Each structure stands twice: as C-alpha cells, then as structure tokens.
Chain A
Amino acid sequence: MMLLVPILVAPAAAALGCLLARSPRIMAFVNVVAFGTTLALGVDLLRQLQAPPHVVTQWEEFFRADALSVWMVLLISVVSLGSSLYAGRYFQRDLAAGVVTPGRVKEFFVLTPLFTAGMFLVVLANNLGVMWFALEATALSSVLLVALYNRNTSLEAAWKYVILGSLGLALALFGTVFTYAAAIDQKSTALPSFNWSYLMSMAGQLNPRMIKLAFVFVLVGYGTKAGLAPMHTWLPDAHSEAPSPTSAMLSGVSLKVALYALLRFHILTTACLGSGFSRTLLLVFGLGSMCLAAPFILVQTNLKRLLAYSSLEHIGLICVGFGLNSPVTIWGSLLHMGYHALTKPVLFFAAGNIHQTCHTLQMRLIGPGMVKMLPATVVCMGLAAVAATGLPPFGLFFSELTILNGGFAAGHSIVSTIVLLALLGAFCGILYQLTRILLGVPKIARTSDAAPWDGVPAMGLMLGALVVFSVWLPAPLRFVMQRAAGIIGGEAVP
C-alpha cells in the first residue's frame, strides 16, 4: 500500500479545508486531524520499513523513503501535531486580546499545513532538485508565518529571514547544479534521473572536484537554513518574533529538515570523496555554532531568543555528532534530533503562555514568580528546561553523553572537551535566567488571561513522549535509527 503521497496530501487538504473554514476552532481541529493522520501514516511507514528492502518508493522512485526519511517524517508529524494542538487555544487568546485579526489566524492555519507539506516533500523527494524547491517552499511559507503579527520587529525578522534564506537557497541551488554537472561529467547525453539514489549508485564516477565545490555551496546554502554559525543570524530573530507554535516548528523540525538536506549531500560527498572533507566541515561548523551560542545564552535578556540560541547550540551538537562520523556519534546525533524535537516545542509553548500573560519577552520585565501565576506551565517548562540542558533522567543527557563517548572512543578528546565546555556555558545561562523568572514571588500583580491548563495538553503530550522514549525505545524505532545511522555513516551501529 502506497503511503508517501497521502502523507503529502493530508496537510495540503488541510490547508485547503482551512481556506474554506470560518471559525478558528474548526481550522485548529482540521489541522490536528491532518497531522494526526500523517503521524499514523508515518507509524505505518515505520512498520513497512521493517521488511527488506527497507525502502519504500512511489511514482517510479520519485518519492523514496529510507530509514532516514522515515525518522524525519515521524519527527515532523509529532512536532506539527503538538504545535497545532497548542495553536488553537493560543490564537483564541490572541484574538481575545485583539493582538491578531481573524484573517491572520486563518493565514496561520492555512500556511502551517503548507509549511509541513513542504517539509514532508523535502524528506520524501528523491530528486535533489525537487528537494531544493521543497525547501524553498518551506522557507517562503514560514516567512509569512514569522511576519504574522505584523509588528515592526516581526517584519524585520521576516525580512532578514527571507533575504538570508533565499540567498542561502540560491547558493544551495548553485551547489545542486554543480552536483548535476558532476554527474553528467563525461556523458554527452542528459542524465537519466537526478535522483539521490541514482547518484549514490554511481557515486564512484562523479567528478570529485565538482562534488567538492558543490558541497561547499550546499553547505553554505542549506547551512544558512539549518542555522549553522555564522549563517545563523536570522535564527534568533525569526524564532523570537514568530508566534510560539511557529517558533516551535521552526526550531523543532525545520532546522533539522534543512540539516537533513545537507546530510544527503554529505553522504553523497563522502561516498564520492571518501570521508574527511565533508565531515571536517560539519565538525568545524558544529563546534563553531556551539561555541558561539554559549556566550549569547549566558547574557541573553529575551526569553524566546534564549530558547533560539539553545536550539543553535543543539543543532551544533548534532552537526558535531555527524562530523565525528563514527557510528556511535551518528546514532547519538539522530537520537538527539528526536529528543530535541520533543523538548524544544514545550519550551516555546511555555514561553508563549508567559508572553501572553506578561505581554513581554524581556526577562527583566517578566520578573520573578512565574510559578505563582502559571504553575502548570512553569512545571512543564521546568521539566523541559531540565531536559534541554541535558540533565538526566531525560534522553538528551544520554544522547549528549553518547556523542561525547563516541568522540573519545574515536580519539577526538579535544573536540569532546570543547563540546562539554560549550554545553556547560549553555547550562549556566539557561539555569540562571530561568531561575530568575520562574521562581520567587511576582513583583507586580498580573492577572493571567491564560487559563491554568492552557497548552498543558500539548506540552504534556510531548513531555510524556520524551519521558517514555528516554527510558524505552520500541524495537522498530531503534531498528530504523540504526538503519539511518548506517545510511549516514556507511556502517552499522553496535
């Protein structure tokens, strides 16, 4: 039974439905249903993938889902589901507060499924060109989401996002073209297909110099979208200005989807040039991002920017894991992707509640004592923060330590040490800042227009998943991740 098209169709249909629907409640419901469907489909896909050849294709390989794609599909579905669960009440409150017009809310509920559909297309498309324009599509749809509030700052953020993003994508396109050229190197006839699988099959005959150049362009291009330093500069702006559900999706999955695109080229390059070139670059950029994020976290003043920089940190760590390129670290990075995707949205949701309560994100204005105003939210946020700073019993501790282990096992002691230092800095910053705003007694008496349990279902869902998967990975999932790690690293995982 073919699953790939439905996964794309469901969100598209949802977008259409929302276009026609009137009340926000219905739109939210439609979204939830759509993403629930995609999640179900994703799980079924997972089941199908257990059987050899462990690849699902459709439309003569136009769509192709291997373990890596399936892993991404699952992440995308879960995060979109969570954020659409959260979005309903969120926008009801915004409407009540008169922050947004109904038109804008509709815009959100129409664009979000498109955004998601784009991401699904990225991870399911086999053709690298298609993957490119799918990414562009996600960029364009998310730009409008970032600009949703139409404040000066949000417009500014959107502008920076779109300019830097499209420029990066142009560079990526250049790299893609180069890859194509590298493939048709000696032939004088057109390439039978521009499919990743096909290129992998003929990786030996690709023109190495061109591939090298191609990877450079792709790295800068997709790296911009994935928020690797120093191309990350749009990231904190966009994340902090977007509505919280969008921020959640941006940092929860969209960064990782861009990273996924980068990974495809990384695999190709490694297959062609042998490991060394691309992994070194990934390592350097990953470390750079981590070391750059830490100080910004330490002295951050804006809550959502704090979270954004922490995402930068995690993306950096994931890159380091892939850059270290030993089976263990790759496995750790994949794990980290998953856990981070489950953790970061919770933080953004909580930040959204706090924002709607205090009408500011400046932490010194939010002031101490959130716990007295929004106990449930703060509890969730605290748990998520504990997870995000890499403390047990949550999974990020395991994945981080696994990456460190792999680094040491592979003899990269220095890298691991730097990573550890950066993580330490981030920890100190987040701990200090959050303690400052969450605990204590409020200075100003505020009446929270957020009901105590608002957003808690969404947060609870994700935290629950996080806790469960921190202590127990279902065998199929584990299998898929091992396959994925194998695809990236070229060898199986212990």
Chain B
Amino acid sequence: MNPVQSELATQCITLLAAGMLVIQLLMVVQGMLLTNIRLFALQSLMLAAIAALIAFFHNATHVYWVAGLTLAGKVFFLPWLLNRQVRRIQIEQEIAPLLNSSASMLLCGGFTLLGYIVARPFTTLERLGNNTLGVAITLLLTGFFLMINRRKAISQVLALLTVENGVMLAAVALTTYGMPLVVELGIFFDVMVAVMVLGLLVYRIRETFASMDVSKLSQLKG
C-alpha cells in the first residue's frame, strides 16, 4: 500500500488507541454502573474499529472476523447482558471506592508512564500506530487497578473486560495479521463464557448475600 495510506492508517489507529485510553480513565473516575457499561461498549467499539482498519489496510480478511466478533460480543451482547444484570439487581452506582477519584487519576498517570516505559523498546517493531503497545499495557494496568479499586462485583467484571480489551489491542497492534484465527475464536468464546459464569456467580452471590459488595466476601481467612 502507498505511504499516504499507511500514514493515514497510523494516524487513525493512534487516535483510536488514545481514545480507548481516555475512556478507560473516564471509567476510573465514573461511579455510575450503567455509564461505565456504556463507556466500556464505546471502548470496545474503538477496538473493533482498530481491528477493522488493520484488516482494511492490510486486506487481511480474517482480522475482519476479529472486528466483527468484537463488535458483536463486546459492543452489543456483553453490555446488554450486564445491563440486564444491573437492572435485575437494582444496583445503580459504585459507592466508596478504596481510593478517591483524584488519587486514582494520579495513579493512572503513573501507570501510563510505566506503560510507555515498558513499551518503548518495542516501538520499532510496531507495524501500525505509535505506542499502541504502550496504550495496551496501560489499559492492562489501569484495568487491574480498577479491579482493585472497585467493590461491586459487576464493576470488577467490567474492569476485567477492560483488561481483556487491552490484551486484544496488544494482539492486533503487535501482530500485523492478528493471531491465528483458531486462537482468536477460542479467546472470544472464552471471554463470552467467562462473563456468563461471572454473571451467574454474581447472581448467586446477590441471592445469598443480598449484596454486591465483594469486600463483604471475607469469611475465608488464614
């Protein structure tokens, strides 16, 4: 493909990656569960878009699969599922995270920095977009932090999903043609099943504990 095209592609992908990062940060400070779910959907949409772009510019057909699956699964299906959960158990928002929003922001800044430090040696061998890898690692770390910081079971699930997003971003950013299709499919279905299982557990926990607060799950000690 001609350099103009590739330049354009790089631009778009970098932009989208940055967008994913921004959304992640928004999720860190956002307390409302439903909003979080929407934000996640948006993030996944961007991921799908990145995949689609790569597929388009390298006309690598099976990466379309990735894009499509992401779109179907992470943009439509999972958010819908989580919405249902949230509505069923009437938990609207995340109260009292361990760290308040400003401190969290500060930490996330630190993680971003770390992400870039870790990613720097590999910028040379990224095919598309600058520092997409850095973004991916940052997504991973912040998602991780999100899991630690949130108390509601659902929001931990969300955080886990954002971590997955980070991984997928890395997968498409680092590998020109994405992973082998079988792997992609496997990963996708695993994520689906995982969310179902988690949903099931969340439901059961809600049933037995009459609460979603995972910090209440602390009877098993020593």
**Interface residues, chain A, CB within 8 Å of chain B?**
127, 129-130, 132-133, 136-137, 140, 143-144, 147, 150-153, 155-160, 162-163, 166-167, 170-171, 173-174, 177-178, 180-181, 184-185, 188-191, 193-194, 207, 209-210, 213, 236-237, 240-241, 296, 299-302, 305
**Of residues 175 to 207 in B, which have CB atoms within 8 Å of A's CB atoms?**
175-177, 179-180, 182-183, 186-187, 189-190, 193-194, 197-198, 200-201, 204-205
Task: Flag if B160 contacts A170 (CB, 8 Å).
Answer: yes
Q: Is B1 an interface residue (CB 8 A)?
A: no
Contact of A300 among B153, B160, B170, B222 (CB under 8 A): B222
- Contact present for A152 and B219 (CB under 8 Å): yes
Q: How far does the alpha carbon of A158 sit from the alpha carbon of B169 in the complex, in Å? A: 29
Most A C-beta atoms less than 10 A away, residue of B122, B144, B200, B220: B220
A150 and B208: CB pair below 8 A?
yes
Name B141-194 residues within 8 Å CB distance of A: 144, 147, 153, 156, 160, 163-164, 166-167, 170-171, 174-177, 179-180, 182-183, 186-187, 189-190, 193-194
Residue with the highest number of chain B CB atoms closer than 10 Å, among A133, A150, A177, A193: A177
Quick one: which of A127, A152, A155, A159 contacts B183, CB cutoff 8 A? A127
List the A side residues contacting B194 at CB < 8 Å. Answer: 136, 140, 162, 166
Q: Is the beta-carbon distance between A160 and B217 smaller than 8 angstroms?
A: yes
Q: Min CB distance, B219 to chain A, in Å?
A: 6
Asked if A152 and B180 make an inter-chain contact with CB atoms under 8 angstroms apart, the answer reads no
Q: Which 3 A-B pairs have the closest CB atoms?
A: A129-B183, A133-B186, A181-B174
Q: Interface centre among A153, A170, A207, A240, by most B CB within 10 Å?
A: A170
B220 contact from A156, A163, A213, Cβ within 8 A: A156
Given contacts A155-B205, A177-B167, whether A144 and B175 have CB atoms under 8 Å apart is: no
| Set of chain A residues within 8 Å of B217, measured between Cβ atoms | 155-156, 159-160
Q: List 14 A-B contacts (CB under 8 A).
A: A127-B183, A129-B182, A129-B186, A140-B194, A143-B201, A152-B209, A156-B220, A173-B187, A174-B170, A177-B179, A180-B171, A184-B176, A190-B175, A190-B177
Please name all residues of chain A whose beta carbon is closer than 8 Å to the beta carbon of B189 when the two chains form the complex.
Answer: 133
Count chain B residues whose beta carbon lies closer than 8 angstroms to a beta carbon of A: 46
- Beyond A140-B193, A144-B200, A153-B219, 14 additional contacts (C-beta under 8 Å) are A129-B180, A129-B182, A129-B186, A137-B193, A155-B209, A155-B217, A167-B163, A170-B140, A181-B175, A184-B176, A188-B127, A189-B176, A237-B220, A299-B222
- Does the CB pair B160–A207 fall under 8 Å? no
Q: How far is the CB of B174 from chain A (nearest CB, A)?
A: 4
B3 interface contact, C-beta 8 A:
no
| CB-based nearest A residue for B202 | A159
Which residue of the partner chain A has the closest CB to B205? A155
| A445 to B177 Cα, complex, angstroms | 69
Specify the chain B residue showing the minimal Cβ separation from A296. B222
**Distance of A129 Cα from B154 Cα, bound (Å):** 28
Which residues of chain B have C-beta atoms less than 8 A from A213's C-beta? Answer: 118
Q: How far is the CB of B188 from chain A (nearest CB, A)?
A: 9
Q: Is the CB of A147 within 8 A of B204?
A: yes
- A147 to B121 CA separation, bound complex (whole angstroms): 44
Most A CB contacts (10 A, CB to CB) among B118, B171, B218 go to B171
Name the distance in Å between B176's Cβ and chain A's nearest Cβ.
Answer: 7
Write the nearest CB–CB distance from A235 to chain B, whole angstroms. 11
Q: Is the CB of A133 within 8 A of B175?
A: no
B214 at the interface (CB under 8 A from A): yes
Q: Mark B55-80, 1 if CB is under 8 A from A, else 0.
A: 00000100000000000000000000
Q: In the complex the two chains form, what is the Cα distance from A189 to B140 in whole Å?
A: 27
Known: A129-B186, A162-B201. Contact between A240 and B220, CB under 8 A? yes
The distance from the CB of B59 to the nearest CB of chain A, in whole angstroms, is 13
B160 & A194 in contact (Cβ 8 Å cutoff):
no
At the interface, yes or no: B125 with Cβ under 8 Å from chain A? yes
Q: A295 to B220, alpha carbons, bound, how many Å?
A: 17
Asked if A162 contacts B219 (CB within 8 A), the reply is no
Contact indicator A155/B167 (Cβ below 8 Å): no
Known interface pairs A152-B208, A160-B217; A166-B160 also in contact (CB < 8 Å): yes
Assembled-state Cα–Cα distance A167/B146 (Å) = 12
A161 and B163 CA atoms in complex are apart in Å by 17
Shortest beta-carbon distance from B173 to chain A in Å: 9
The answer to whether A133 touches B208, judged by C-beta atoms less than 8 angstroms apart, is no
Are B201 and A177 in contact (CB-based, < 8 A)?
no
Choose among B179, B198, B222 the residue with the greatest number of A CB atoms under 10 Å from its CB.
B179
Of the candidates A152, A181, A237, which one forms a contact with B125 in the assembled complex, judged by CB atoms under 8 Å apart? A181
Chain B residues closer than 8 Å to A133, beta-carbon distance? 183, 186-187, 189-190
User: Inside 8 A of A174's CB, which chain B residues have their CB?
Assistant: 140, 166-167, 170
A158-B180 in contact (CB<8A):
no
Cα distance, A106 to B58, chains bound together (Å): 49
- A167's partner among B121, B147, B182, B186 (CB-CB below 8 A) is B147
Task: Give chain B residues whose Cβ lies under 8 Å from the Cβ of A194.
Answer: 179-180, 183
Answer whether A170 and B167 are a contact pair too, CB < 8 Å, given A178-B174, A193-B180, A210-B122. yes
Shortest CB-to-CB span from B154 to chain A, Å, is: 12
The answer to whether B179 touches A180 (Cβ under 8 A) is yes
B204 touches A150 (CB 8 A): yes
Find residues 76-124 in chain B having any chain A CB closer than 8 Å to their own CB: 118, 121-122
Contact check: which of A147, A150, A157, A170 meets B163 at CB < 8 Å?
A170
